[in-house]
Amino acid sequence: MQLRKLGHSGLEVSTIGLGCMGMSQSFGPLPEKKDAISLIQAAVDRGVNFFDTAEVYGQSHHNEELVGEALAPYKGKVHIATKFGIKVVDGKQVLSSKPEIIRQSVEGSLQRLKVETIDLYYQHRVDPDVPIEEVAGVIKDLIAEGKIKYWGLSEAGVETIRRAHAVHPLAAVESEYSMMWRSPEAELLPALEELGIGFVPFAPLGKGFLTGTIDKHTTFGSDDFRSKQPRFHLENLEANQVLVDLIRNVALAKNATPAQIALAWVLAQHAWIVPIPGTRKLDRLEENLGAVNITLSPEELSDLNTALSKIKVVGDRYPAGSDYAKRTGK
C-alpha cells in the first residue's frame, strides 16, 4: 500500500483509508461484531493504516468501541480519525461544540478507542452557536496536552476553514466527493491547496451507486438511509445510469472494475487526497484497495473529465430542508 501526506501537516496515511460508519448504522442490518472486527483487521493486513469513525456513529458509541477493539493489537501502527460535535439528545441529533462538551467528548473517545492520543480529531459539523475560533482554541490546548495530534473539519465552508486554520493549522477537511458529487471542485479544493490542508472524501463511490451494482430495480429497506435520499429515488437512479455506463466503459478498457475507476479518478485529482470508502465485505475491500494500482494517464483523465462535464447528475444528496442539508458548507 502506498502512502500519502495530508497537506502540509506531516500526517502520512495509506492512500486509501477505511470508513467504518456503515458497520454501525445507515446501511440496513448490522454485521456481526466478529465479522466487522475481522474486516477491519483484514484491512490492516492489506496495508490500510487510516480508519475513520465518530463519537455519534451507532447506538451508544457503538462504532468507536468497535474500532477501538479491532485496532487495539495495532497500537502505534495505525491512525484513527474520529469526530466530535454531534450529540444525541432524546433520540435526535443536535450540534454541540461548547468547550466543555469538546473536552467531555475527547475523554470518551480516548477511552472507547483504547488510545492515549487521537490521531485526527474532526469537528463533525460546524456549530453556529460557537465561534470556530473558540473551537480551534480548545483544540489547540488539547494538542498541547497530548490528547490529540491533528485536527480537521467535516463538511465546513471555506470561510470557516480559513478562520479555523488561522488559529491552529488544520491537517484535513472531510467532505463528500466523487464523480457523482463534484461540488468541492469550485471553492473547497482550491482553498485546501492554497492552505496546505489535506482532503478526505467520504462516499467516493457515491454511497455505492458508482460501483455499478445499483439500478432502478434496487430497493432499500427503511433502515437504509439511502431510501430517504433524493438521488436514490427511482427516477434519479434511472437518469443517472448514464454516469455508471461511462465508468463501466472506462473500466473495461482498463481491465478494472467501476469501483476501482471511480476511486482512481478521485486519487488522480491531487496527491493530498485520501478517500475513505466504506464496506462490510472482504471482496469489496480488496476491490477498493486495488484502485491504487490503476493509473489514469493525463489524456485518459482529460477525456474522462470531458465526458463527465456533459453528464448532469440529478437528485440532491439530502432531502431539501432536512437537518443534514442545513449542516453542510457552514
Residue 7's CATH number: 3.20.20.100
What pLDDT is recorded for position 212? 87
Check whether 180 has a pLDDT greater than 80.
Answer: yes
Between residues 221 and 258, the one the model is more confident about:
258
- Averaged pLDDT score across all residues of the chain: 94
- Min mean pLDDT across 87-96, 138-147, 271-280 is at 87-96
Predicted local distance difference test score (pLDDT) of residue 29: 84
229 pLDDT above the threshold of 90: no
CA–CA separation, 315 vs 155, rounded Å?
19
d(CA 315, CA 309) in angstroms, rounded, equals 16
Residue 245 C-alpha cell reads as 455506463
Residue 249 reports pLDDT greater than 90? yes
**pLDDT tens, position by position, 21-35:** 999 987 878 899 999
Of the candidates 24, 7, 11, the one whose C-alpha atom is nearest the C-alpha of residue 280 is 24
Considering the domain boundaries, does residue 168 fall inside one?
Answer: yes
Per the CB < 8 A criterion, the answer to whether 93 and 86 are in contact is yes
Burial letters 196-207, b for 16+ CB under 10 A, else e: bbbbbbbbbbbb
Work out the average pLDDT over 57-78: 95
The β-bridge partners of 178 are 181
Is 241 inside a domain boundary?
no
Pairing of β 118-123 and β 198-202: unpaired
Domain membership of residue 119 (yes or no) is yes
What are the cell numbers at 35?
A: 465479522
Q: Within a domain: residue 315?
A: no
Flag whether 62 is in a domain: yes
Whether residue 20 contacts residue 43, with contact meaning beta carbons closer than 8 Å, is answered with no
- C-alpha cell at position 14: 495509506
Which residues are CB-contacts of 214 (< 8 A; sequence separation ≥ 6)? 208, 232, 237
Coarse DSSP helix, strand, coil percentages of the chain, rounded to the nearest 5 percent: 45, 15, 35
**pLDDT recorded at residue 219:** 83
Instruction: Clarify whether 177 is annotated catalytic.
Output: no
Provide the grid cell at 38: 475481522
CA dist 85 → 89, 137, 181 (Å): 13, 15, 24
**pLDDT value for 227:** 83
Does pLDDT of 147 surpass 80?
Answer: yes
pLDDT of residue 269: 95
Give the pLDDT confidence score for residue 33 in this predicted structure.
Answer: 94
Predicted pLDDT at 91: 81
Distance CA 119, CA 75 (A): 11
Question: Which one from 57, 121, 122, 177 is the annotated catalytic residue?
Answer: 57
Task: Reply yes or no on whether the pLDDT at 325 is more than 90.
Answer: no
Asked whether 31 and 280 are in contact (CB, 8 A), the reply is yes
State the cell numbers at 290.
486495488
Residues paired with 273 in a beta bridge: 199
pLDDT at res. 41: 98
59: pLDDT strictly greater than 90: no
Print the domain residue range for 56: 3-208+258-294
Convert 137-154 to b/e letters by CB count within 10 Å (16 or more is b): ebbeebbeeebbbbbbbb
Whether residue 34 lies inside any domain: the answer is: yes
Weakest-pLDDT range from 139-148, 226-235, 240-249 = 226-235
Residue 47 lies in a domain: yes
Q: Residue 320: pLDDT band by 50, 70, 90 thresholds?
A: confident
pLDDT score recorded for residue 115: 97
Give the total number of structural domains in the chain: 1
Chain centre to alpha carbon of residue 232 = 19
Please indicate, yes or no, if residue 319 is contained in any of the structural domains.
no
